[in-house]
Amino acid sequence: MAKASITKKFTLSAASAAVLGVMSLGAQAQVNDTDIDFGGYVKLDLLVSDYADGPAPASASIGRQIYIPSITPVGGEGDDLTTDFQARQSRFFLTSKTELDNGETLTGHIEMDFLLTPDGDQRISNSYNPRLRHAFLKYGNWTFGQTWSNFLDLNILAESVDFIGITDGIIFNRQAQIRYTSGGFSASIENPETTVTETRANGATAPGGRIVSSDGFVPDVTFKYTGTAENIIWQASALLRQLAYDVPQSGDDETTFGYGVSFGAKYTFGMDDIRASITTGSGLGRYLGLNTWNGAYIDGNGELEAIDSTGISFAYRHFWTEKLRSNVVYSRGWADNDEELLALAGDMTEYTQRLAFNVMYSPASNLTFGAEISQANRETEANVDGDLNRLQLMAMYKF
């Protein structure tokens, strides 16, 4: 359940502004033309997980909160079942729309939840820090701030009990950006960040680890077009990026070019729908499968070499009744780990995939109960694999 759609709206009047202590004429003039939407949801998750080929992560691990493809254990002894209750996915947001004196509308949006934060535990109070999801403003055709990457296709996100559901093979990324939108076309420059696989070429004692270089200078550039045709909404997008890393031994800045293309579509027939996507590229790195694969590695000459990767997703939603529906969800991502990378870094993840089936029941439009069973699999280039089997239940109230 990646986003909420139910909001409540109120308009600040001069009288309400006075009650709030906003007394200046300037402030009253502004709030008279400002609509404020607030909303979100409260969600309880119950997760029962079977790590079939390795130990369960610690209770504070992000893999115990949502499905993370890259951390499915492989090649070990299976662990006992684990059970987790959490309300950390609950979220809230605030959106304001102000009619300016030049006739334009200024929109501001901020949204937070409590997932994936480092503080808090399950011992006593289950206290967790809020996490920033979105914070942006819109003026005319322009968007400034943090929100979904323009490379991402929101229409193909499946309805799932897990936080994302089709994680392995899709682009899922939020970051700061400047975006221009005109009709179905949009383009953006977005925050650059390079993840690099450590190898023996840069003196790594434990090759295969991840370096987050933070050396990017050139923004990531994206282009997207969204179109419709009868019962189909489709999207094509492209990503251009420079991968950068400051080699510590020489102090030289190593760079290489990365790119990606993605196509997705949603087809609706009656109440049912099918959603599918394919994404491929070189140097996609953190954009695909929650950074299961890095964008580049350090080759034998100490230079950056981009890593090729591909992902696919499929979801079918069927309504049994107006209130009862099911989703079948499948996603797979894989990388082309070439022989040099394997020689320099050792065994690497070849692919991950997840198959899930859920049942959703909504007795009211803003209340949903769900149950989902899933099996996720990760396999390395050495044919060492592991499964994660999970049952997840949820109750969610949107407000």
- 341 three-state secondary structure: helix
- Quick check: is 243 in a domain? yes
Looking at the structure of the chain, the number of domains it has is 1
103 burial level (CB within 10 Å; 0-12, 13-18, 19+) = exposed
pLDDT of residue 86: 96
Given a contact cutoff of 8 angstroms between Cβ atoms, the answer to whether 354 and 378 are in contact is: no
pLDDT of residue 4: 40
Segment-wise mean pLDDT, segments of 10 residues, the chain, 399 residues = 48 43 39 85 98 92 95 92 96 97 95 92 92 98 98 97 97 98 98 94 85 91 96 98 83 89 98 98 98 95 94 98 98 96 95 98 98 98 97 98
Give one DSSP letter per residue of 148-181, joined into a string: E-TT--GGGPPP-SSSSSS-TTSB--EEEEEEEE
Give the position of tokens 């493809």. Answer: 69
Please list the residues that pair with 177 across neighbouring strands: 145, 190
- Quick check: is 130 in a domain? no
- Quick check: is 226 in a domain? yes
Q: For residues 298 and 301, what is the distance between their CA atoms, to the nearest angstrom?
A: 8
Q: What angle do CA 127, 131, 135 make, to 5 degrees?
A: 150
- Quick check: is 110 in a domain? no
Q: Which residues contact 352 (CB under 8 A, 6 or more apart)?
A: 69, 70, 72, 168, 289, 292, 332, 333, 334, 376, 377, 378, 379
pLDDT of residue 6: 44
pLDDT of residue 234: 98
- Quick check: is 320 in a domain? yes
pLDDT of residue 17: 42
- Quick check: is 113 in a domain? no
- Quick check: is 134 in a domain? no
- Quick check: is 36 in a domain? no
Take residue 59 and report the two structure tokens written for it: 């209770």
pLDDT of residue 26: 40
Please state, as a whole number, how many other Cβ atoms lie within 10 Å of the Cβ of residue 100: 11
Domain CATH code at residue 184: 2.40.160
Given a contact cutoff of 8 angstroms between Cβ atoms, the answer to whether 315 and 328 are in contact is: yes
Backbone angles phi, psi at 63, to 5 degrees: -70, -15
Q: Residue 324's domain spans which residues?
A: 45-91+152-398
